[in-house]
Amino acid sequence: MQRDKFFKEIENLNHPNEKLIKTHCSYCGMQCGMNLRVNIQTNKIIGVEPRYDWPVTVGKMCPKGVTAYQQTNHKDRLLKPLIREDASLKGTTEGFREASWDEAYDLIAKKFTELQTEYGKDTLSVFSGVSMTNEKCYLTGKFARVAMGTRYIDYNGRFCMSSAAGGFLRSFGVDRGSTLPWTDIHETDCLFIAGSNTAECHPTSMFRIWNVQERGGYIIVVDPRETPIARRADLHLDLQPGTDLALANGIVNQLIELGYIDEEFINNHTDGFEETKELVKEFTPEYTSMLTGIAPEKIIRAAELYGKAPNAVVMFARGVEQQHKGVDNVSGYTNMALVTGKIGRPKSGVATFTGQGNGQGGREHGQKSDLLPGYRKITNPQHVKEVCQVWGITPEEMPQPGVSAYEMFELMEEKTIRGLYLLCSNPAVSAPNQNFVRKALKTLDFMVCSDFYLSESAEFADVVLPAVTWSEDEGTVTNIEGRIIKINKAQEPVGESKPDWQIQVELAERLGRGKQFSHLKSARDVADEFRLATKGGNADYYGATWDKIEKQDGVFWPCKDENDQGTPHMFLDKKFYHPDGKAKICALPYRPPAEEPCEKYPLRLTTGRVVYHYLSGNQTRRIPFLHDMCPEPFVEVHPETAAKYNMEHEERVRLFTRRGEAIYKVKITEAIRKDTVFVPYHFGHEDSINLLTIAALDPISRMPEFKACAAQLEKVEMKKVQ
Amino acid sequence: MKKRLYLELENCIGCRSCLAACTQCGGHEERNRNYVYDVNPLVNRQTMPLMCLHCENPACARSCPAQAIQIHETGAVLSALVEKCIGCQNCTIACPYGIPKFDTEQNLMYKCDLCIDRTKDGIPPMCASVCPSNTLQWLTDEEIENKKKQFNLDNGKWVTSMPYLEGETNVKVNLPGILQGITKLY
C-alpha cells in the first residue's frame, strides 16, 4: 500500500568514516524522512543524505530540511544554564551569567515554591510547544499538573492547529488532521486547497499535488495571493482575507443547487443537513461574490469541479484556521465533503496541512488547557480517573482546566499569573499583539525558558535552560497524516544541554514529586508510560510501539493493541466518532473579520510564511543558506496600490495598525489582491509583524486572527529609518 | 541502466532546495553550482532552475586552453581540475547558458559535476534527489521517452535543446507547457 509509483529502490551514498542515522526533519508536519550523516570518529553530525526509502517523501526535502542538521552544532547553541539577577534587563540579551544545573534547579525550585506559597498553586504557568516529540509533549502536561500543580498550561498550537482541531471535533467527533494517508493524494481527481501556500509551507507535498493535474485532475486554490500553487491551479479563487466561511457556504449552496449531493450518505451518516441547506440558501453566487470578492462564475465552477469529481480531497491550512472564526471555516469547508459523501473512502476526504512537526501528536496528549493524554477531557471525571491511575495521584489533586495561550498573557499582565516555565516556543515573536505580550512577559516575577538558542522570548527570562535539538534525543512524533513515526538520536547533546523530559524529571524531584517522575530514566520509559496513558482514549497510541513503528514505516492512530496495525484511512465503515456514529453538517452563520478596513486603515493585512523559514525563525534565521535567501521581512503590495501611495519596489515604508507599527521593504508583485498586503511572520524585535496583528480570538479554539486585520501604509523619510 | 537528469520547468515552485542540496554533495565544498531564477518577479511567482545541461560537445571544455574541464565516461562535464585551471575564465564566457562560476580568491572555475561521486554509481544527484516538486528528476531513457509520449505540445517541440544552443545535451529539459496536451479526467 505504502510503496507507490514515486518509490524507487536507491542505495544511499556512504562516505568513508561516516554512518547514516535514519530520522525525520525537525521542522513542519510533513516530517520528511532524512538520514543524518555522522562522522564516526568525532561522533558529530556533519551533513544530510536523502532518505529514499521513506514512503511519504521518498528522499525529497525543502531547503529547510536540507540544512536542518546545521542547527545541532551551531555556534549559537546554549551550552550551560544561564541566570540573570538584574530584572531591569528583561527583554534584552544582557546580564546573563553561566551557572551549573544544580544552581539553576535550586533557584527555580525556590522561586516556584515561594510564589506558590504566597499566591497559590495557580500563580505558575507553563507555555509549551509542539515542535517536540510526543513523549516530551505528554510529560509536559503531566509536569504542569503533577509537579507544578497548576491549572495554567497551554501551548503554541493555539496559534497553529487549534481551529482545525475544533472544527474536526465538531464535524467528525474526532480530530485526526487527515482522514487519509498522503500516498492517496496524487491519486485523487480534484484537490480543493484553501488557505495553504503549499509550495512554500509544505513543499514536499508538491510532487503529489502536481501529479493530480498530470493525470488530468483538477486543482482549485483559495488564497488572496497568487501563490506558486495558485499560479498553476485550474481555478484560483482570490478571496479577501477573512471571508472563507462565506465561500464555503456559497460552494455548499451550489453543490446542493447543481445536484451534486449524495442523499443516501447524508441520510444515513450525517446530521444537520436540512438546517444547513436552509442557511446556505442565502449564499447565492452573487451574494457570496459580494462578501468574498471572488467572481460569481468562479464560485459556480469550483462547485462543479469538486461536485463532479469521482474522488476529491478538501484541504486547508492556517489561511482559513487563523481567523476568529477559524473553527467555523474548518467545519464549513468540511461540509463540502459531507454533503457530497466524498469521505470515508480511499482517495477522498479532508485534510489540514499540519504546521508544526508534531502539531498533530502534540495537541492530543495534555498540553492544551483542558485536555489529558489520549484526547481525554480534564472536565470529564471518568477521564481524570483513568489518567490519575497512570500518574499515581488522586483525582482531587488534578487541577482544573486553565485558559488558552493568549489569555495566559492577559493573566500575566493582571498578575494572576506570576511565574512562567516556557519551552519549545517563542511567543515574543509568534503571539499576536506583541506590544501587549512583551509587556506581559516583562511583568512576570519569575520566568524560566528552555530552548537551544537564546530566542527573543528567552530574553525575558530569569533562568534559561539549555535544551537539546531534535537530533540529540529520540522519541515519536505524529506527522501531517496522523502517522506516528520515530525520531532517532544521532549524536550526544552538545555542552551540558539536556532533553526537556530529563529536565522535567529532575525539576519534579526538586519540587518534591520524585515519586511520580523518578522512574522515567530514558525517552523510552516516557514512551511506555505515555502509550499506557492514551489507552482507551480517542487518540489511542497504546499499540504503537517503537518496534512496530520501525517495522511498518510508522503507525496511524488509533492503534489500540499489539495486533492492531493502525488506521491509515479514517471512517471506512462510515462510522464517525459522535455518540450516534454520525458526522455533523454544520449550519454556520457568516461573520466578517473582527476588524474590517475603514478610512483610516483601508488595507487588509495578512501574514504567512516563506519557504526559507519556520515559525518564529529562531531556528532558521541562524542557518546561513536560509538567512541569505531571506534575510529580512518585506511587505508585498500590488503595483496599483503601491502607485496610489507613490511607493517604489524595495523602498522602506511604515506599515501600521491600531496596535503597532513596523518598517518594511516594499516588494511589488501583481500576485496579490489590490486591497491586501502580506508580511511574513518569521522575524523578531522591531521587525515582527505580530506587533501589528490582532488578538481577536475564535470563541471555540481561542485562535487569534493572524490572517486578517485593517492596516495602513505610509512613506517614511530616509533619515527617520536610519 | 543509464539515467539522466530531466527537467520539467512547469513544476518549479522556487524553493531553491536544489541549491541548498547542491552545497551538501560531499564534493562541492558547500558551494552551490546552479541557479534558480525569478522569471518575472514583479508580476508573478514563476521561477525556473538553470542547471548545467552537460553538453555532449561542451563549449566550456572546448574553450579551455588548459584542458582543465574533463568529460566523465558517464557524460558529466566535470568541474575544472584544480591543478590545470589557469583561471582565464574562457569557459564562463563560452558557455551559452552561463553555468561555470568563478572563484576569484582561488582563481578557479567551478561548476556542476552532476554529483559525480553519486551518479557514477547510479545514485541520483543531490538536486534531483531532494526536489520537492519533481522539476528535477533522474530518469532512464525509457522513462524520458514515455514523458515525450505523455506530453504532446502543440508546437511539436518539448525540449529546450531543440533547436540546440550548443549541440545535444545529456540533460533533457521539458519546456513549460506540459499540461497543454493533457486530456482532463472529466
Give me the architecture of the B3-179 domain, per CATH: 2-Layer Sandwich (3.30)
Instruction: Please report residues of B whose CB lies closer than 8 A to that of A59.
Output: 124, 129-130
pLDDT at B160: 52
Q: Estimate to the nearest angstrom the gap between the alpha carbon of A458 and the chain centroid.
A: 21
**Is A457 a residue whose pLDDT tops 80?**
yes
Please report the number of interchain residue pairs, chain A to chain B, with beta-carbon separation below 8 angstroms: 130
- CA distances, A613 to each of A257, A451, A625, A655 (Å): 43, 18, 11, 22
Is B38 in CB contact (< 8 Å) with chain A?
no
Task: Tell me the per-residue pLDDT of B35-66, one tens digit each, with 9 for 90 and over.
Answer: 999 999 999 999 999 999 999 999 999 999 99
Instruction: Please report residues of B whose CB lies closer than 8 A to that of A649.
Output: 42
Domain map of chain B by residue range? Answer: 3-179
pLDDT at A605: 98
Q: What is the DSSP string of A459-509?
A: GG-SEEEEB--GGGS-EEEE-TTSEEEEE---SPPSTT-B-HHHHHHHHHH
CA dihedral A603, A167, A618, A155 (to 10 degrees): 120
Task: Tell me the per-residue pLDDT of A228-270, one tens digit each, with 9 for 90 and over.
Answer: 999 999 999 999 999 999 999 999 999 999 999 999 999 999 9
Averaged pLDDT, A2-18? 91
Among chain A residues, the shortest Cα distance to B32 is held by: A625
Distance from C-alpha of A560 to C-alpha of A239, rounded to nearest angstrom: 42
Task: Tell me the per-residue pLDDT of A480-539, one tens digit each, with 9 for 90 and over.
Answer: 999 999 999 999 999 999 999 999 999 999 999 999 999 999 999 999 999 999 999 999
Distance from C-alpha of A143 to C-alpha of B57, rounded to nearest angstrom: 67
Q: Percentage of chain A surpassing pLDDT 70?
A: 99
The minimal CB distance from A62 to the residues B17, B42, B185 is found for B17
**Is A336 a residue whose pLDDT tops 80?**
yes
Task: Tell me the per-residue pLDDT of A625-658, one tens digit each, with 9 for 90 and over.
Answer: 999 999 999 999 999 999 999 999 999 999 999 9
User: Which of A66, A306, A668 to mutate to probe the B interface, most B CBs <10 Å?
Assistant: A66
β-pair partners for A446: A419
Averaged pLDDT, A22-36? 98
Averaged pLDDT, A68-86? 98
Do B182 and A214 count as a contact with CB atoms less than 8 A apart?
Answer: yes
Closest CA–CA distance from residue A211 to any residue of chain B (Å): 9
Q: Is B108 exposed, middle or buried (0-12, 13-18, 19+ CB in 10 A)?
A: middle
**What does the mean pLDDT of chain A come to?**
97
Map out the domains of chain A with their CATH numbers.
18-70 (2.20.25.90), 82-158+358-534 (3.40.50.740), 161-352 (3.40.228.10), 603-715 (2.40.40.20)
Helix (H) or strand (E) holding A634, with range, is: strand A634-637
Instruction: Please report residues of B whose CB lies closer than 8 A to that of A15.
Output: 26
Residue A145 pLDDT level (bands cut at 50, 70, 90): very high
pLDDT at A161: 95
Instruction: Please report residues of A whose CB lies closer than 8 A to that of B17.
Output: 60-63, 65-66, 203
pLDDT at B162: 56
Helix (H) or strand (E) holding A447, with range, is: strand A446-451
Residue B148 pLDDT level (bands cut at 50, 70, 90): confident
Residue A315 pLDDT level (bands cut at 50, 70, 90): very high
Residues constituting chain A: 722
Residue A673 pLDDT level (bands cut at 50, 70, 90): very high
**Is A1 a residue whose pLDDT tops 50?**
no
DSSP state of A585: P
Is A229 in CB contact (< 8 Å) with chain B?
yes
Strand A349-352, strand A371-372: pairing: unpaired
Q: What is the ipTM of this complex?
A: 0.96
For residue A556, give the 3-state DSSP assignment: strand
Among chain B residues, the shortest Cα distance to A16 is held by: B26
The minimal CB distance from B131 to the residues A60, A200, A228 is found for A60
pLDDT at B154: 57
HEC per residue, A518-551: CCCCCHHHHHHHHHHHHCCCCCCCCCCCHHHHHH
Instruction: Please report residues of B whose CB lies closer than 8 A to that of A213.
Output: 179, 182
pLDDT at B31: 86
pLDDT at B153: 58
Q: What is the DSSP string of B64-131?
A: -TT----B-TTS-BPPPPTTT-----HHHHH-TT---EEETTTTEEE-----HHHHTTTPPPHHHHH-
Do A60 and B129 count as a contact with CB atoms less than 8 A apart?
Answer: yes
Q: Which of A239, A319, A228 is nearest to A671 (CA)?
A: A228
pTM of the model: 0.97
User: Which of A28, A61, A626 to mutate to probe the B interface, most B CBs <10 Å?
Assistant: A61
Do A13 and B26 count as a contact with CB atoms less than 8 A apart?
Answer: yes
- CA distances, A192 to each of A62, A291, A571, A672, B177 (Å): 23, 20, 20, 20, 22
Residue A322 pLDDT level (bands cut at 50, 70, 90): very high
Task: Tell me the per-residue pLDDT of A362-374, one tens digit each, with 9 for 90 and over.
Answer: 999 999 999 999 9
**Is A720 a residue whose pLDDT tops 60?**
no
Averaged pLDDT, B84-96? 95
pLDDT at A704: 98
Is A52 in CB contact (< 8 Å) with chain B?
yes
Task: Tell me the per-residue pLDDT of A174-212, one tens digit each, with 9 for 90 and over.
Answer: 999 999 999 999 999 999 999 999 999 999 999 999 999
Averaged pLDDT, A410-417? 98
Q: State the cell numbers at A317.
A: 491550512
Do A206 and B41 count as a contact with CB atoms less than 8 A apart?
Answer: no
Averaged pLDDT, A596-616? 98
